[in-house]
Amino acid sequence: MSNLSSPLSSSKMLTKGKTMSFSAHDFFCGLGGNSEGASQVKGIEIQYAINHEPSAIKNHSLNFPSAKHDCIDIRKIRAKRYEKADIGLFSPECRCHSPASGKKAQDLTNVQLTLFEDEALHEQLVEEQKREESRLTMVQVLRMVELYDYQAIVVENVCELMKWHYYPQWKKQLENLGYEYQEICFNAQFAEVVGGHTPVASSRDRLYVIAWKRSLGKRPNLELQPAGYCGLCGKEVCCRQRPKRQNREFWLNAPPALAAQKDDAWKGCLGKYKQNYLYFCEYCDRPVEPYIVPAAFVIDWTIPAQTIGDRCKKLSPQTLERIAKGIERFGGETAFITSLYGTGTARSVEKPLGAITTSGGHHGLALSPFLVQYYGRNDASSSINSPVPTLTGAPRHALVIPPPMNTSFIVEYYSKGRVRNLCEPLGGLTTKERFGLVVKPETDQTPSIFDYRYRMLSVSETAGAMGFPCTRLGATKDYTIVGSNAVKHRLVGQAVCPPVMRSIVERLVDLLSSQI
């Protein structure tokens, strides 16, 4: 599926009165998270979207009909195929970098296969070589950057990319192509909330490599400072990233000769939130947590949930155990979410969703409600007051719903998932359904676990948790997602959260606009 025109010798950088117009290429476009975020920035035009998968191109074209689309493997692009653009957006394959693959990368640079090796070892090495080929999609980014000579680029991937043994050489080659760059790690649950757009209600740590032409002579301001409330200062503040442990006390007590270097030393907050860095108040420099959007925000309470005892397809013992732990933990709350992957647990719907994976169906809703994750630990449930756990490409979160007390939580269905309160964001969304919603039954008696209502989170709920436009959640439009349920969950789990890309591209547009 191609819609190509003849190449042009220059980019489409136009001045319309006082409004600057910049063009962008979106490689590995997937569902269109990069394009959606970038297009929310005034003056950005998505010129081309490229992906090897027809379902991705179909969905992207439905949401960006004015863009040109090319269904092709980036490795097969041998010459300039598209008009030149100002900005390149890249989200190369992350599956073989991510811990979601379930396997650790091996350095094969000095490994050679012979006819005399053990057959099992031979198969293992061949498999790892195939996985390394997947990781080498990062090399294709450099090829496209060299071909199209962008003024600026953004590369999004999992934080584990920094452990790739070729990553230092990759960054060096980027410099050799005439670019300066900055790496930032950011959890999407803290992305800026802008009126008319859907906020993120999923916890999703990602690495962003932002590069710009050295010839521009300036650096963009890439310090993303989410808002939060500092109890010590008694007011709303900007939250600044700081290392969790690394030399913090040293820099706080540094002698005057070194004090000036503190800000530069603290810019390297690479890694994951709470594992590697925390947020601190801009005034008192004490720990503070940025505002979050709970999973409860994205849940559509009009979707019915069946009681666990009435289900035709019975839940597995592991899922029932997660739900039981969620009931024990969030029994007085309305709902919780279960994550259905790995060591999945339950979490409150007041928190963000966990990781949204590409297989979807990893989050179930249980009313009392809480969320149950279909992956990870056996206590994989969370409150609906938290962000949705990491969303994968498969349905991995279910909602457990109770009766009159309306206590719900989320159960996560993946390896390290947990039970979450609905006040938290969802955990990371994966490529499969991994979250279940658990809802408490409406009875004055102490309910049995089989009286709780339970269902998996829908595509519209997980897409909303990722920040894709949804009028039900206050956006001015609905993002179109088509295909089978499995395809839709996979595309959502693989996607980039649009609000984060919007914040980054805004800063690049400020940089490029200052040059004209």
Domain definitions of the chain by residue range? 227-290
pTM across the whole model: 0.84
Cα separation, 78 vs 75, in Å, equals: 8
**CA atoms of 23 and 516, how far apart (whole Å):** 15
**Which string of b and e fits 225-260 if b means at least 16 CB within 10 Å?**
bbebebeeeeeebbbbbbbbeeeeeebeeeeeeeee
DSSP per position, 265-308: HTT---S-BTTTEEEEETTT--B--B----GGGT--TTS--EEG
Query: b/e map of 382-413 (b: 16 or more CB within 10 Å)?
Result: bbbbbbbbbbbbbbbbbbbbbbebbbbbbbbb
Q: How far apart are CA 353 and CA 185, in angstroms?
A: 19
Dihedrals φ, ψ of 355, to 5°? -55, 130
Nearest to 350 by CA among 203, 168, 195: 203
Distance CA 2, CA 488 (A): 22
Instruction: Give the distance from CA 354 to its chain's centroid.
Output: 10
Q: Give CA–CA dist 324/326, Å, rounded.
A: 5
Q: List, in sequence order, every beta strand (DSSP E) within 54-197.
A: 68-71, 87-90, 152-157, 179-187
Paired strand residues for 380: 345
Convert 344-392 into a string of H (helix), E (strand) and C (coil). CEEEEEECCEEEEEEEEEEEEECECCCEEEEEECCCEEEEEECCCCEEE
Our CA dihedral for 46, 35, 393, 73, rounded to 10 degrees, sits at: 30
Residue 442's pLDDT is what? 74
Q: How far is Cα of residue 101 from the mean position of the Cα atoms in its chain?
A: 16
Q: In 30-136, which ranges are continuous DSSP H helix?
A: 33-39, 54-63, 119-135
Contact 306, 455 (CB under 8 A): yes
The residues, ordered by sequence, that sit 6+ positions from 490 with a Cβ below 8 Å of its Cβ are 358, 359, 360, 393, 394, 431, 432
User: How far is 287 from 301, CA to CA, in rounded Å?
Assistant: 35
pLDDT of 254: 58
Reading the block at residue 286, the tokens are: 């004490």
Look at residue 268 in the predicted model and tell me its pLDDT: 56
Alpha-carbon gap, residue 221 to 188, rounded angstroms = 18
Distance CA 123, CA 446 (A): 55
Cα end-to-end distance, the chain, whole Å: 36
H or E element at residue 397: strand 390-401
| C-alpha–C-alpha distance, residues 381 and 437, integer Å | 9
Query: Cα(488)–Cα(431) distance, rounded to whole angstroms?
Result: 9
Adjacent-strand bridge partners of 453: 307, 439
Residue 9's pLDDT is what? 34
Contacts of 325 (CB under 8 A, 6+ apart): 345, 346, 378, 379, 381, 419
Q: Cβ distance 323 to 368 under 8 Å?
A: no
Q: List phi, psi (to 5°) of 279.
A: -110, 145
Going residue by residue through the chain, which has 516 residues, state the pLDDT in tens, using 9 for 90 and above.
444 433 333 444 545 445 679 999 999 999 999 999 999 999 999 999 999 999 999 999 999 999 999 999 999 998 889 999 999 999 998 665 455 545 555 554 454 544 445 555 555 655 555 555 555 789 999 999 999 999 999 999 999 999 888 999 999 999 999 999 999 999 999 999 888 899 999 999 999 999 999 999 999 999 999 999 999 999 999 999 988 755 455 555 655 655 555 555 555 578 999 998 999 999 998 999 999 999 999 999 999 999 999 999 999 898 898 888 888 887 655 577 877 766 667 777 777 777 777 666 677 777 656 777 776 655 667 777 778 777 777 777 887 765 443 568 888 877 666 788 888 888 878 888 888 898 887 777 778 899 999 999 999 999 999 999 999 999 999 999 999 999 999 999 999 999 999 999 999 999 999 986
Task: Provide the 3-class DSSP secondary structure of residue 230.
Answer: strand
Which tokens is 498 given?
């649009």
